[in-house]
Chain A
């Protein structure tokens, strides 16, 4: 009987040990899953999350909307005869430590200017060549007998740009103290009258961020 009791006790202690082990594993798994960041979509119309040291979409939105606001208020895109200006996109220099596609800024400005009804953007001319090469390539079909020549763009139809939009994005890193850094971003834009070479409008948006030295801004 004593042996039996001893065996039952050992068995129950084994069972309770494996039970606690199981609970431990479950708890551990729960903690791991609780700590893991879940993916969720950003509510872009009400994003109140913390700022980041680098440039994010909010910064581009701010810079673009401030530039458009200033442009529309200045009257620089108000053509005297009431028509629309033809705008070409010139060079936008990325002088930051980040790999930025400057279209993140320029596209927003282009879309808004186009929608304003004051400007139309040419994709046939640009500082780095045509944005859309097809306009010129389609003209190479003039000699082709395979194409109905009446459907091919005739000569002298393209419209030359009157205005040019150029700019620069600058980054400055400043050490505030041992643990803090300050990063300044400057979005500078100029609208030049191609005929005279004079800048009709210029704008600058400054975005400053102060945070931990451990945060990387590149």
Chain B
């Protein structure tokens, strides 16, 4: 009985830690694939309006693994009403993440009307 209790506590704490790890720094960032959560973590997302009036964003994260990895990101730009703006700039873009190192990527909005965004991150393809 005591052993079962111990196992349950262990699993509960494991689940709790897992849930904590999946919580991103910004809810607008969606890391696709659960295994990625243990590999990378997003530490900062900043956005500015540049001189031309376009929103620019920068995402900073860490590759926690001991291996060089390739990931892809895709940014969906949204207008004031939350509607998606169609643009070829919303495409899966590869970025490198060196072992045990910080990575960052930057993007600019296609229109001045882009006021919000959603970022998808997944493991790199071929």
A51 interface residue per 8 A CB criterion = yes
Contact A115 B87 (CB under 8 A): yes
Contact A72 B54 (CB under 8 A): yes
> Most chain-B CB neighbours within 10 Å: which of A68, A73, A112?
A73
A165 interface residue per 8 A CB criterion = no
Contact B50 A73 (CB under 8 A): yes
Interface residues of B: mostly helix, strand, loop or mixed? loop
A116 interface residue per 8 A CB criterion = yes
Contact A68 B52 (CB under 8 A): no
With both beta carbons as reference points, the residue of chain B lying nearest to A69 in the complex is identified as B108
> Most chain-A CB neighbours within 10 Å: which of B50, B91, B93, B112?
B91
B27 interface residue per 8 A CB criterion = no
B7 interface residue per 8 A CB criterion = no
Partner of B108, one of A46, A50, A72: A72
Q: How many residues of B contact A (CB 8 A)?
A: 20
A48 interface residue per 8 A CB criterion = yes
* Given the contacts A73-B50, A75-B51, A65 and B126 also touching, CB distance less than 8 Å: no
* Given the contacts A61-B91, A72-B54, A75-B50, A115 and B126 also touching, CB distance less than 8 Å: no
Chain A residues, CB < 8 A from B88 = 61, 64-65, 68, 108, 111-112
* Given the contacts A65-B88, A65-B89, A69-B89, A115 and B111 also touching, CB distance less than 8 Å: yes
Chain B residues, CB < 8 A from A72 = 52, 54, 108-110
- Residues of A86-115 at the interface with B, using a CB-CB cut-off of 8 Å, are 108, 111-112, 115
Q: Mark B35-59, 1 if CB is under 8 A from A, else 0.
A: 0000000000000001111101000
A78 interface residue per 8 A CB criterion = yes
B107 interface residue per 8 A CB criterion = yes
Contact B126 A51 (CB under 8 A): yes
A77 interface residue per 8 A CB criterion = yes
With both beta carbons as reference points, the residue of chain B lying nearest to A76 in the complex is identified as B52
CB of A55, distance to nearest CB on chain B (Å): 16
Chain A residues, CB < 8 A from B110 = 68, 72, 112, 115-116
Contact B91 A78 (CB under 8 A): no
A142 interface residue per 8 A CB criterion = no
A117 interface residue per 8 A CB criterion = yes
Contact B91 A65 (CB under 8 A): yes
Chain B residues, CB < 8 A from A108 = 88
Partner of A46, one of B50, B56, B92: B92
Contact A69 B107 (CB under 8 A): yes
A118 interface residue per 8 A CB criterion = yes
- Residues of B68-118 at the interface with A, using a CB-CB cut-off of 8 Å, are 87-89, 91-93, 107-112
25 contacts between A and B (CB under 8 A): A49-B126, A62-B93, A65-B88, A65-B89, A65-B91, A68-B88, A68-B110, A69-B107, A72-B52, A72-B54, A72-B108, A72-B109, A73-B50, A73-B54, A73-B56, A75-B50, A77-B52, A78-B52, A108-B88, A112-B88, A115-B110, A116-B54, A116-B112, A117-B111, A118-B52
Q: Which residues of B contact A (CB under 8 A)?
A: 50-54, 56, 87-89, 91-93, 107-112, 125-126
